[in-house]
Amino acid sequence: MTKILVATNNPTKYKSIMRGLGTIKDIQWLSLSDLPNIPDYNEVGNSYKEIALAKAKYYSEKTGHITIADDSGIFVSAFPSKFGIKSRREFGEAGMNDMEWLRLFIDLMEHQDDQTAKIQTTLCLYNPKNNR
C-alpha cells in the first residue's frame, strides 16, 4: 500500500485535505503527528508555490514518503500589505492555535468598513522516487 504524508501537524488542516483526498483507495494517509521527531520546516520563499514545494520536498526527503504540503494566506482589502503570503507568521503570536488567531483577526476586522477577504491555498505533491 502506498503511503502519502500530508505535511501538517494541524488536525483541522489535515481533516480539510482528507475531505478531498481521503476517498482515494489503496493509500495509507499520514500526517506529521504520525511521524514524531521530524524537525519543523522553516518556511522560506516568495510565493505559495515555492513554499509548498520546498516544504513537500523537505518532508519527503526526511521520511522517504510521497508528500503533500501546502502554503496559504489571507488577503484583506482593508490591509493590503499586512497579510498575504506571511499571514500566519507575521500576524498574531507564535504558538497561537486556529481559534486564537481567528479571534484576533475578527477583532481587527470588526471595525473596518471594507471587510472583503479571500484565502489562497497552494498544494504541492513531491515524490522522492523521481525527484519531482
User: 118: which strand partners?
Assistant: 75
Residue for cell digits 481587527?
Answer: 108
- Residues linked to residue 6 through DSSP beta bridges, in sequence order: 31, 68
How many Cα atoms are found within 13 Å in the side-chain-facing hemisphere of 101? 15
Mark residue 130 as left, alpha or beta (left: phi above 0; alpha: psi -120 to 50; beta: remaining).
Answer: alpha
Q: Which residues are catalytic?
A: 71
DSSP code of residue 84: B
- Grid cell 483507495 — which residue? 25
